[in-house]
Amino acid sequence: MNGASGWQILLWVALPYLALGVFVVGHVWRWRYDQFGWTSRSTQLQERRLLKWGSPVFHYGTFAAIGGHVIGVLIPESWTRAIGIPEDVYRWFSAGAGTLAAAAIIVGVVILAGRRLLVPRVRATTSPVDYVALILLLVIIVTGIVPTLFVNLLGHGYDYRVSVAPWFRGLFSGSPSVTAIATAPVVYQVHAACAWLIWAVWPFSRLVHAWSAPLWYLWRPYIVYRRRVAARPAEPGTSGRRWRRIGVPY
């Protein structure tokens, strides 16, 4: 961390760890405290025509983007080289697939955000934390797509795998290289900072529904039977408020 200013350390070391901490503690707390509020908060009942296109396109685009990040940021450059993928093939693949995912996300998020802001029935269900999450998502998406499109696809290319990625992986090995990220272009910096922020907002927003993806449904028996069980008394320390809702504007 030699030569890093206090600000840089705050932004590129403290923020990530803080966000991670809030992410973990927040989820434990929400899981134990607010199962009742843990939902996707679907608004399909209120509005279906825009959702029909916006929601699937956005979600599937996001899956593609997450997959891309796993490949691009978590897998070191040396590995892909070792299995014999040349740099420009990698770049073209990343730019091509990235652009496709980006296009899907952009279309999806424009429809969804427009719907959320402009359709009164949907807007009425939106809580402040939803707006925070939505704005962060928008910033992340825009700053994620601009470099993919204008730098990697059309421009001269920028190898984030020698600056952003090592810093990111360094966070997990305990020695993040602050100077690497601090010298990266601003779009990457904003993208990374907002991405960390959204981890901190995650447990308090409807984003938690992502962890409930019901894959188990594919294997479980169709009909679920349960025996009657005695209601458990409230957990000590929660003052019995198991039904308090979070992320609901009412």
Q: Which residues would be at the binding site for other proteins (CB under 8 A)?
A: 35-48, 51-52, 55-56, 58-60, 120-121, 123-125, 206, 209, 212, 214-218, 220, 222-230, 242, 245, 248, 250
Nearer to other proteins, 96 or 114 (CB): 114
Minimum CB distance to other proteins, residue 4 (Å): 42
Nearer to other proteins, 45 or 82 (CB): 45
Nearer to other proteins, 73 or 248 (CB): 248
Minimum CB distance to other proteins, residue 213 (Å): 8
First CA to last CA across the chain, in angstroms?
46
For residue 33, which of 247, 249, 240, 250 has the smallest C-alpha distance?
240
Minimum CB distance to other proteins, residue 176 (Å): 35
Residue with tokens 């993208």: 191
Nearer to other proteins, 156 or 228 (CB): 228
Residue with tokens 């091509």: 96
The string over 170-201, giving b where at least 16 C-beta atoms fall within 10 Å of a residue's C-beta and e elsewhere, is bbeeeebbbbbbbebeebbbbbbbbbbbbbbb
Minimum CB distance to other proteins, residue 6 (Å): 43
Nearer to other proteins, 38 or 188 (CB): 38
* Residue 37 · residue 245 · CB < 8 Å: yes
For residue 192, which of 150, 112, 136 has the smallest C-alpha distance?
136
Minimum CB distance to other proteins, residue 207 (Å): 13
Task: Report angle CA 197, 43, 29 to the nearest 5 degrees.
Answer: 40
Both tokens of residue 63? 């899956």
Nearer to other proteins, 47 or 77 (CB): 47
Minimum CB distance to other proteins, residue 157 (Å): 34
Minimum CB distance to other proteins, residue 32 (Å): 11
For residue 12, which of 156, 231, 202, 196 has the smallest C-alpha distance?
196
The backbone torsions φ and ψ at residue 120, rounded to the nearest 5 degrees and listed phi first, read -55, -40
Concatenated DSSP letters for 196-223? Answer: HHHHHHGGGSGGGGGGG--GGGGTS-SS
Nearer to other proteins, 5 or 35 (CB): 35
